[in-house]
Amino acid sequence: MEVCAVAVAGRGLVQPHEPVFAADDEALLRGRSVFETAHVYDGRPFLLDRHLARFAVSAEQLRLPPPDATECERLAELVIGACADKDLALRLYWTGRTLVATAGPIDPALEALRGRGLRLVTVPWSTGELASAKSTSYAENMAAQDAAVTAGADDALLVADDGTVLEAPTANVWWREGDHLVTPSLDLPILAGVTRGLILELAGPETVEGVFPLSRLLGSDEVFVSSSIREVMPVASVDGKAFGLGPAAHELQRQLRLRAAA
């Protein structure tokens, strides 16, 4: 992500390429740190309270002290105000000793991708105890994403050894069966996406959460993924099986944008 502003607790705004983490910080030595990514619409971070709540939960899972929510909000305001663009990706990082906020413009290529839909390929996945924490130990996720790109796709669909559908490396996954939406349950080792929670509110009681095999997804009418930056992103194919860019993703994206503008 291109960064246009960086702010550090106790220091305020710093130059975007200035070092902010100490060389002996466990964030660098062992990947022991957490982060959050929120979408900023017209200068306003969307659902920031929910992101900060998850930020604290992730820190607890890694046995880090809780980040200061008030300071997070202050740093977010600083970096948003320092960027010329007002539609931004806001990121917060907490290592237990250093709290950092960054902001950068949303990739304009996302809208073209939304128009054609993602191509996914399945990648076998074994999860650890911290799978539900949003930690910076994302090397395995990025390796899965790279493997998918090498295979000619846009992203990976992570599938457990027994064939259970989990999530994408940086997004939750959904599919539509007739009038019902289906998504993996948080009882599985997946991230509790903030956008996932919003979609559950927008979609209402027509959503089924559970443990489902890949064959269930491949037999569905429509597939899409959700995340803060991608929002609701339709899926055009999974392992070469084509899906139409169906109405559910389009309608949920419309409702999400309306909520963000409210």
Q: Give, in degrees to the nearest 5, the angle at Cα 201 between 262 and 162.
A: 135
Bridge partner list, 41: 44
Give the pLDDT score at 31. 83
CATH of the domain at 159: 3.20.10.10
State which of 87, 105, 123 marks the end of a domain.
105
Q: Which domain holds residue 144?
A: 109-261
Domain count, the chain: 2
Give the pLDDT score at 26. 85
State which of 43, 76, 105 marks the end of a domain.
105
Give the pLDDT score at 178. 94
State which of 90, 105, 120 marks the end of a domain.
105
pTM of the entire predicted model: 0.93
Dist. CA 1–CA 192, nearest whole Å: 23
Structure tokens at 80: 């948003």
Give the pLDDT score at 229. 96
Do 40 and 9 share a domain, yes or no? yes
Q: List, for residues 187-218, the tens digit of each pLDDT value.
A: 999 999 999 999 999 998 789 999 999 999 99
Q: Residue 38: enclosing H or E segment and its boundaries?
A: strand 34-41
Do 76 and 165 share a domain, yes or no? no
Do 134 and 210 share a domain, yes or no? yes
Give the pLDDT score at 6. 97
Three-state secondary structure string covering 167-208: EECCEEEEEEECCEEEEECCCCCCCCCHHHHHHHHHHHHHEE
CATH of the domain at 87: 3.30.470.10
Which residues have CB under 8 Å from 197's CB, separation 6+? 50
Q: Which amino acid is at 179?
A: D
CA atoms within 13 A on the CB side of 246: 19
Do 100 and 114 share a domain, yes or no? no
Give the pLDDT score at 29. 83
**Segments of the chain scoring below 70 in pLDDT:** 1, 128-132
